[in-house]
Amino acid sequence: MDLAWMGWTPFTATFFSVIACLLVVMMVWEKLSPGGAPRFGMLRFETTRGDRLFVTLLSSAFIHLGWLFFGGTDLWWALGLSVLYALAVFRWV
């Protein structure tokens, strides 16, 4: 199958592979520990595991875009900040 028209690079392939792996991890987590009851966190609205993953992914995109605008192209710092943000979201939101 020729996917050259999509402009795949190792970076885009890694990006989509990581998202796919996150979805698989969430599925396994739900199988091992069913329920994942909704909870009220710091933001005072009800969230589930999937909601927190969505908020994390969306916010990480904005963190990276902001880093590109204000900090340049060295995105390793943005990645580290996104991971810390994800840990905080899953802990307190």
Q: In the chain, pLDDT over 90 holds for what percent of residues? A: 46
Do residues 3 and 55 touch, judged by C-beta distance below 8 A?
no
| pLDDT at 60 (0 to 100) | 94
Cα separation, 50 vs 68, in Å, equals: 27
- Stated pTM of the model: 0.79
What radius of gyration do the chain's Cα atoms show?
16
Q: What is the mean pLDDT of the chain?
A: 88
pLDDT for 3 beyond 70: no
